[in-house]
Each structure stands twice: as C-alpha cells, then as structure tokens.
C-alpha cells in the first residue's frame, strides 16, 4: 500500500488533490529580466511551498540550466519563456492560467 493522502484521506493512487490544486491555483507569471553582468534570466512567479521546489527542480532538469527556487520565484539562467510554458502545460497547469511576456 502506498499510503493515504493527508488532505482528502484517500489512497494516494486515486487521490486527485494535486490535479485540483493545479487547476484552481492562482495565475503564473513568466518573464525575463537582466541580472548581474547583463545576463538574462527567466522568472516564474505564482507557486508556493513544496510545489515551488518540485517544479523548479523539474524545470532545471528539463531545460538543462541552472537556477534556484526561493522567495516565491523560480529563477532560471537564460531565456526559456516558450520552453517553460510548454513544460508547465505538460505538468498539468492550464495554459489559461499562464501569463508570459
């Protein structure tokens, strides 16, 4: 047995808490800015807590870039707006909740 979900009390195999959370979460903002030495970074805002760290790790791995996930933001080295949007949609976030510039 894999365990019981803390939120709904169902077995984790059939729990839909994460899917529901992604669909009802607040909007995600994705944009680029210049940091030290005129280097571009891609910033993702709108995630919190454990989800922030998990998505940050997944994005860094998928895009083969460095970065960090702290203070409510994921900062990725380089310009990756289109790739980040596509990866977030594959992770289950609705495209309507993703704003990018």
Hey, where are the domains in the chain? Answer: 26-100
Nearest Cα residue to 55 out of 90, 81, 79: 90
Q: What is the pTM of this model?
A: 0.77
82 sits in the region (left: phi over 0; alpha: psi -120 to 50; else beta) called: alpha
Rounded CA-CA distance 73/67 in Å is 10
Q: Is the CATH number 3.30.1330.10 carried by domain 26-100? A: no
Q: Give pLDDT, residue 31.
A: 96
Q: Give pLDDT, residue 92.
A: 84
Region 15-30: what's the mean pLDDT?
A: 75
Q: Could you report the per-residue pLDDT of 69-80, keeping only the tens digit for each? A: 999 999 999 999
Whether the Cβ atoms of residue 48 and residue 72 lie closer than 8 Å to each other: yes
Q: Could you report the per-residue pLDDT of 35-59, keeping only the tens digit for each? A: 989 999 999 999 888 889 999 999 9
């Amino acid at each position: 047995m894999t365990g019981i979900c803390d939120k709904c009390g169902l077995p984790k195999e059939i729990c839909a808490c994460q899917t529901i959370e992604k669909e009802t979460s607040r909007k995600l903002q994705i944009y680029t800015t210049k940091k030290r030495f005129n280097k571009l970074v891609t910033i993702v805002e709108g995630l919190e807590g454990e989800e922030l760290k998990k998505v940050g790790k997944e994005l860094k791995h998928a895009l083969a870039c460095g970065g960090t996930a702290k203070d409510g933001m994921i900062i990725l080295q380089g310009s990756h707006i289109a790739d980040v949007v596509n990866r977030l949609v594959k992770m289950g976030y609705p495209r309507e909740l993703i704003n990018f510039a």
